[in-house]
Chain A
Amino acid sequence: MQFLTDSHIDFMKYRKVFIWVSILLLVVACAELFFLTGLNLGIDFAGGTQLTLRLRDSGSPEELRRTFENAGMREAQIQRYGDGDSEFLIKTPVVGGSEEGSGTAMIDALNADFNSDAAGRLDLNQRGADAVASLLYEADPDSRVGVDEVAARTEYATVAAAVLERRKTLTIFNSWDQLDNVEGLSDAALTTLKDKAFFGAFHVLQNENVGPQIGSELRTKGVLAVVLSFFGMLLYIWFRFELRFGIGALVAVVHDFMITLGLFALLNFEFNLSTIAAFLTLVGYSVNDSVVIFDRVRENMRRFKRRPLLEVINLSLNQTLSRTILTSGTTLLVLISLFTLGGEVIRGFAFVLMIGVVIGTYSSIFVASPFALAWEKYFGRETRAQRKEKA
């Protein structure tokens, strides 16, 4: 299938319209970022504690909110996580400059509220294999300790590991039937567990704390990485091409970056470490797109020395158009697949790149090249020479 071969679209004709469209989008993005809601910084950059929970039974955010409010954690934000109504994400900000965060306090509050019937029993949905092994060893349901202490220790450790492996596949236990056929778990041992252990109401999938110190360091590093990569791109294009193209590509990439960032803020996605990775990739991708076009412009400039730059750019844009669309298309395809199927953590990441690819493709045609042209017009060597001639 061949498409868009030998196209003769006059991209440059409407460049002023598109420049205004871009400026408008940029203004909206900046207004959103600096004056309206702004970025929703995740704990990576803002600092704070974030718990991802799986509840044994389904629950509601309101229920959890009550627990944390009762424990004095009014600022806890609670949202659903993943699909279904049993996973939740709870975020608390840094309190009083404390580095250590409130993870333990949050888990304590949950335990006090949801597991008040614990009565000293071991929580099979929270504790690890060692704790289970220790419990079995002390109770010794299979009467092994009297025979051989060391062997008994290893045997109970193996059983405990098998129980935990079962939990790993289920994520959370909610009935004793789920412990059927666990390798090595005798009926006596199961009875011991039923007696001395219970299924807590929640399981902590993830517990993250970033203190304010690390948060501000990550912020600095993030900004530095973005700014330096801009400069790296500028230098590379300057070195490989000419300054006017470098400026054109840089303007395009800043344009893509800001508009995507604005949209990201508008839709209230969380800005975290993997988002930074996505934005840096976007920078690379956006420049990549402009560079392929500039490469063609350079080639055509050599071939058609007498043609004005505007015509050369138009020709080059047409020649590279099918490549531009095809590459953006395949990249978009995998990004859509990541966005829809890749899971919660990847979603924000894929979103940035999806928007970035669309805007990057647009800007490489309607922003980067016109800018190179405008630079030529106002600062270019030829114009200066022409001015001299006139004088």
Chain B
Amino acid sequence: MDRSLISRLIVILVVVVAASVWAYPPKDKIKLGLDLRGGMHMVLQVETDDAIRAETDNVMNGLQRDLEEADIIDAVVERSGDSSFEVTGVPADRDNFIEDDLLDRYYVGWTMRRLGDRLQIELSDQEAKNIRELAVNQARETIRNRVDAFGVAEPIIHREGLGSDRIVVQLPGVDDPDRIRNLIKNTAFLEFRLTKANTSAFASEQQALDAIRGADESQHEVMREDLRDENQVIVGQQFWAVEKRRVITGRDLKTARLTNGDFNEPEVGFYLTSEGGKKFGDVTANSIGRGLAIVLDGTVISAPVIRARITDQGVIQGQYTVQQVQDLVTVLRSGALPAGLTNLEERSVGPTLGRDSILKGQKAGMIGFALVIVTMLVVYKLSGLIAVLALMLNVVLVFGVLSMFNATLTLPGIAGIVLTIGMAVDANVLIFERIREELRSGRTVKSAVVAGFGKALSSIVDANATTMIAAIFLFMFGTGPIRGFAVTLSVGILASLFTAVFVGRWVFDFQTSRRSRIDKLSI
């Protein structure tokens, strides 16, 4: 063997060994996509308008309090839009005080304008953008915390793109998509509100509405409570007239945990921050005998009567199972979502379907492979063996590269591999046909091989380049499983170039090098 043959053999061996090491055993080395291993894929949109409204609410509440403290007692704060509100009843000579001492100091990003007898206060666009940005990041963190608490292996949680309001969540191996969905999407907005003095639960919404009609209308609203039997099935509803003002919210919570009640029923125990505890203590001390509605995401969970002043801790009781309490504790601990989430896309696949797909894909691949091998051997005889060898190497290389780049194998990806088996022989066919032609035109074996490879090369490159172009566009515009197809297809094409041109050439050269004159080639 001459030197060029040896050095090329070394290159081939190194590549093949490296690919085999990377790919073996494929069961552990190849990462399967959600469509094959089962799991859940979600695209969630963060409704950032919620966060803007919540911020406006906070500023309105804060400013109302500040105005009271500054003895501007006639001031009435009213919402005028998602990110704006109006204040009436402020004497014009206090404008500067409000602007300089309140807004600029405590409410950064809010601007004020006087329109006749009203002050219009608006959130600046820049600040609104910041709030939206923050809301998406906070939502992502909250989702991550909840998923981590749930114990999903290898979760992927990321924003769809820079500045996007979408979050992509991928959870492999999830077997209870319903529970995960509720856990993630639960805004977990916990609030405590006093019920209207001297009222208890109403049987119908109308009765509750009647109760708040009149002078108190702007301060109160009606909220629903679902009544459940011991199996958690909703059996009825009742309604509460509650104050719009929130005593404390989930933000005042330091932590929460699962506790057991008097009859060993599961409850949520919570602990308040010192500031929250002070607020809670002040209100409960003044409201003994009134109901305290515990509201989660706009629905009353329960409304126990306040028996004594409560400061730093308490429990939430409801008709819950242990699992539900655990989930509630998880969401309370991870904090409220800053905004609601809309499920734009959701795909959950059970593990059985994926297993089935793999088996079928394997079977189809093997049979297809066998058919191609037989064809090549029949058409090209012994040289067909070279093509078969090239094909086998091709498959090993594809798996090796997939594992090396940590790429994900999907169901269309399997189809891509099977397809490249059919297409990879193309390079071999082009070469073999060319060699045959050269032999027919009377060349010696050696020069026919050289000419065959040389002339076929440009066709091979052109032909594969067009398929690569298609694969690249697929990768650019495709999502999830389709990208997996683009990856296996392009890796398969590149691998076939290597196996057919480089490895195939080596075998021919090796054959023709052993004897100086070889006059027959089995092709």
**Is chain B a partner of chain A in the same complex?**
yes
Question: Within the complex, which residue of B177, B415, B474, B485 is in contact with A342, where a contact is CB–CB below 8 Å?
Answer: B415
Residues on B lying within 8 angstroms of A by beta carbon are 43, 45, 174-179, 230-233, 321-323, 326, 342-353, 355-357, 360-361, 363-365, 367-369, 371-372, 375-376, 378-379, 381, 411-412, 414-415, 418-419, 421-423, 425-426, 429-430, 433, 436-437, 440, 455, 458-459, 462-474, 476-482, 485-486, 489
Instruction: Report the Cα distance A221→B477, complex, angstroms.
Output: 6
Instruction: Chain B residues near A224: list those with CB within 8 A.
Output: 477
Q: How far is the CB of B310 from chain A (nearest CB, A)?
A: 29
Interchain residue pairs with CB less than 8 A apart (20):
A100-B343, A104-B178, A120-B232, A128-B179, A138-B322, A204-B350, A205-B352, A206-B349, A207-B348, A225-B474, A229-B469, A273-B478, A276-B478, A280-B471, A281-B489, A289-B463, A292-B430, A334-B365, A338-B415, A343-B361
Chain B nearest Cβ from A305, distance in angstroms:
18
A residues in contact with B352, CB < 8 Å: 54, 168, 171, 203, 205
Residues of A within 8 A of B369 (CB): 334
Q: Which 6 A-B pairs have the closest CB atoms?
A: A128-B176, A120-B231, A284-B470, A334-B368, A128-B175, A284-B467
Residue from B43, B415, B470, B474 in contact with A214 in the complex, judged by beta carbons closer than 8 Å: B43
What residues of A have a CB within 8 angstroms of the CB of B465 in the complex? 236
- Docked complex Cα distance between A203 and B323 (Å): 21
**Chain A residues closer than 8 Å to B479, beta-carbon distance:** 218, 221, 273
B470 touches A342 (CB 8 A): no
Is B350 within 8 A of A119, CB to CB? no
- Report whether A211 and B344 are in contact in the complex, using a CB–CB cutoff of 8 Å: yes
Q: Known contacts A103-B346, A205-B352, A292-B430: does B375 contact A349 (CB below 8 Å)?
A: no
Does A337 make an interface contact (CB < 8 A)?
yes
Judging by beta carbons under 8 Å apart, are B478 and A288 in contact? no
- Verify if A287 is at the interface (C-beta below 8 Å from B): yes
Interchain CA distance A241-B369 in the complex, whole Å: 34
Interface core residue of B415, B419, B455, B480 (most chain A CB under 10 Å)? B415
Among A67-75, A261-269, A320-328, the stretch that binds chain B is A320-328
A134/B322 contact (C-beta < 8 A), A333-B371, A338-B415 known: yes
- Nearest to B460 among chain A residues (CB) is A292
B458 contacts across to A, CB distance below 8 A:
295
Among candidates B365, B433, B466, residue contacting A322 with C-beta atoms closer than 8 Å: B433
Residues on the B chain within 8 Å of A330, using CB: 371-372, 375-376, 422, 425-426, 429
Number of A-B contacts (CB under 8 A): 262
Which one of B351, B379, B471 contacts A284 once the chains associate, using CB atoms below 8 Å? B471
B368–A101 touching, CB < 8 Å: no
Q: How far is the CB of A327 from chain B (nearest CB, A)?
A: 4
Tell yes or no: A313 within 8 A of B by CB: no
For B177, what are the chain A residues with a Cβ–Cβ distance below 8 Å?
Answer: 207
Contact residues in B for A336 (Cβ distance below 8 Å): 368
Closest to B381 in A: A1
| Contact assessment for B419 and A134 in the assembled complex, using a CB-CB cutoff below 8 Å | no
What residue of chain A has the Cβ atom nearest to residue B426's Cβ? A327
Q: Which residues of B contact A129 (CB under 8 A)?
A: 175-176
- Whether the Cβ atoms of A296 and B469 lie closer than 8 Å is no
Given contacts A168-B355, A330-B375, A342-B361, 17 further A-B contacts (CB under 8 A): A5-B440, A99-B45, A120-B230, A214-B43, A236-B465, A273-B479, A281-B470, A284-B470, A295-B458, A296-B459, A320-B433, A323-B433, A327-B429, A332-B422, A340-B364, A343-B357, A343-B360
Q: Are A208 and B429 in contact (CB under 8 A)?
A: no
**A157 to chain B: closest residue by CB:** B151
**Known contacts A214-B43, A337-B371: A292-B462 contact under CB 8 Å:** yes
CB–CB A274/B344 < 8 A: no
Q: In the complex, what residue of chain B is closest to A285 when comparing beta carbons?
A: B467
- Inter-chain CA distance A54–B425, complex, in Å, is 40
Considering the chains assembled together, what is the distance between the CA atoms of A282 and B219 in angstroms?
66
Complex contacts, A326 vs chain B, CB 8 Å? 375, 379, 425, 429, 433
Specify which of A218, A222, A287, A329 is in contact with B466 (CB 8 Å cutoff).
A287
Min distance, Cβ A257 to any Cβ of chain B, angstroms: 12
- Note all chain A residues with C-beta closer than 8 A to B364: 334, 337-338, 340-343, 346
Whether A345 is near chain B, meaning CB under 8 Å from some CB there, is yes
A208 vs B379: C-alpha distance in the bound complex, in angstroms?
A: 46
- Chain A residues near B414: list those with CB within 8 A: 346
Point out the residue from B350, B361, B376, B466 that lies within 8 Å of A233, measured CB to CB: B466
Choose among A164, A228, A343 the residue with the greatest number of B CB atoms under 10 Å from its CB: A343
Per the bound structure, the CA–CA distance linking A273 and B355 in Å amounts to 21
- Determine if B466 and A213 form an interchain contact, defined as CB atoms under 8 angstroms apart: no
Do the beta carbons of B466 and A284 come within 8 Å of each other? yes
Q: In the complex, which of the residues B367, B412, B440, B466 contacts A291, with contact meaning CB atoms closer than 8 Å?
A: B466
CB distance from A321 to the nearest CB of B (A): 10
Contacts of B43 in A (CB 8 A): 214
**Chain B proximity of A253: nearest CB distance (Å):** 9
